[in-house]
Amino acid sequence: MSRSRPDTVSVVAGEGITLPGDYHVHTTWSDGTGSVEECVLRAAELGLAEIAITDHITPKPGSGEVWWVPLERLAAYVEDVRGVAVRHPEIRVLLGLEAEYVAGQEAELDRLLDAWPFELVVLGVHVVEGFEFDDPGLRGDPRWGDPDALLAAYYRTMRRAAEYGRLDILAHFDYISLWGHEPGAAALPEIDAALDALAASGAALELNTDRISDPAGVMYPSVAIMSAARERGVPLVIDSDAHEAAHVGRLLDEAIAYARAAGYRETLRLSDRTLVPLPLHG
C-alpha cells in the first residue's frame, strides 16, 4: 500500500458500524514479546476486521541496541506474516513495517520499500538530530535544558517525514512529550506546519493508545492536535502500538471516546482506504 502519494479516501454510506483495525503491532521479530500468530489471534478474538504487523525496521542500521528486524532476516519476516495471513482468513492481515524516519536517509528508505512487498508503512520518529529523546538514560542530557527548542526540532522532523510521502500512517505524532514537556512558542508553529504536510500527504494520523507504557501516561496525540488534524481533513486510525499480544486492540473504549472528543466520527480502514463510522463504543 505504500506509495509516493496515497489514493483518495472514499466514504462508506449506509454500512453498519464496524470496529477499526489495529495497524501498529510489534512482535518478536523486533522488540515485541508475542509472535505474529499470537497477535493475529488476539485481534480476531476482539472482532477486529484487520490487523497490520508493523515491526521496527531501519534502513541504515547503526551500532548499539538492536530493536528492529535485521535486514538479512526480512525475507523470513515477510514469509512469517504471509503464512499467518493464509492460516487465518477470518481476519485481514496486512504486511507492514514501522520504518524509522531519519532526515537524510530517504534514499536508503526508498530502496528498502522498493525491494519488499509491504502493504502498509508506518513512519516513526525516535531520534531528533542524532538525539534519542526517549532514552531514559538521557533525561539529564543538556539538550533537555531548552525543551521547546527540542520539541520544535522534533516537529520539523515530523513535517519532513510527512513530506517524504511514502507512508500510510504517521506514528505517535507528539511522542516527544513522553516526559511531560508541553510545546511552547517555538514548537507550536512547527506543529501546524507538520499537520499541514500530513494533510497534503494523504496519510493518516494515528491515535496511539499506548498510554500505560510511557511516563506521561497519555495517549498520543493530544486532543488539541487531533482536533487540528480533523479540521485539515486528516483521516484517523486507532492503534495499540502493542509490544505483546495481550495489548493488541487495548483501551479501545477509551480511544473511541478520545477520538470523538476531538470531533472525529470516522476511522480509516486501510485495506481499501475507506472511511467507516467510528463506533459509539468498543
Question: What's the rounded mean pLDDT across residues 13-38?
Answer: 83
pLDDT at 8: 46
Q: For the chain, what percent of residues have pLDDT higher than 90?
A: 82
Domain 10-277, classified CATH 3.20.20.140, yes or no: yes
CA dist 188 and 71 (Å) reads 37
Question: What's the rounded mean pLDDT across residues 151-176?
Answer: 97
**Which residue would you say has higher pLDDT here, 65 or 44?**
44
pLDDT at 11: 41
Question: What's the rounded mean pLDDT across residues 223-244?
Answer: 97
CA dist 279 and 282 (Å) reads 7
Q: Per-residue b/e over 72-111, b at no fewer than 16 CB within 10 Å? A: eebeebbebbeebbeebeebbbbbbbbbbbbeebbeebee
pLDDT at 115 over 90: yes
**3-state secondary structure at position 10:** strand
- With CA atoms as reference, report the closest residue to 141 among 149, 151, 133: 133
**Domain range summary for the chain, segments of one domain joined by +:** 10-277
Q: For the chain, what percent of residues have pLDDT higher than 70?
A: 91
Strands 274-277 and 266-269, by their bridges, are antiparallel
Is 271 buried (19+), middle (13-18) or exposed (0-12) by CB count in 10 A?
middle
pTM of the model: 0.92
pLDDT at 18: 58
CA dist 107 and 99 (Å) reads 13
pLDDT at 149: 97
